[in-house]
Amino acid sequence: MQATSTETEKLLDLLAETPQRLQSLISRLEDARLQTKLDQDAWSANDILAHLRSCADVWGKSILAMISQDNPTLRYISPRTWMRKTNYPQQEFHRSLQTFTQQRYELLAALKLLTIEDWSRTATFTGTAKGREQTIFSYVQRIVEHEMQHLAQLESGLNAIPTS
């Protein structure tokens, strides 16, 4: 899909919305509930935030490289692998959300400076599918789609946890 100003504005709005939706979803919950898993295979709210932060680290860094370099070759890093190298799952939720929110606003500030042509800037990723090329636009779409899935997962999980 070719980037249009309408599409890029929509993506920017959705990126800005993620921290707000996270805050709204957890605003009235006790800290202990943010750690609650429905079963051993489920993720808690804190686990989901840790994962989103890892994705923001990895994918955001790639986007900034695409902005600052002409068609860089970047090694793909799995956000799940990256998360294992952090202490995000152990961090207090509200402090972690503040850090995620600040990081998101920094990414948004960089993206808002782009011209419509800049959204087509590319990078070639190695370590996954051979020579997979992505644009800033396609990577931002990926982030938004991924976050929407996890926000729905969080909402569903929080609704299923019995209130005390």
Over residues 56-110, the pLDDT tens digits come to 999 999 999 999 999 999 988 889 989 999 999 999 999 999 999 999 999 999 9
Residue in 12, 50, 11 with CA at minimum distance from that of residue 154: 50
| 38 pLDDT tier (thresholds 50, 70, 90) | low
Q: Which CATH number fits domain 5-160: 3.40.50.2300, 1.10.10.10, 1.20.120.450, 1.10.150.20?
A: 1.20.120.450
pLDDT at 39 over 90: no
Helix (H, G, I), strand (E, B) or coil at 73: strand
- DSSP structural state of residue 88: G
- DSSP structural state of residue 132: E
In the numeric block, which tokens belong to residue 32? 């202990």
Edge-to-edge strand list for the sheet holding 132-135: 73-75, 122-126, 132-135
Ramachandran sector of residue 29 (left: φ over 0; alpha: ψ -120 to 50; beta: rest)? beta
pLDDT score, position 33? 83
pLDDT score, position 2? 76
**Mean pLDDT value of segment 146-158:** 89
pLDDT score, position 151? 94
**Residue in this structure with the two tokens 């782009």, named with its chain if needed:** 114
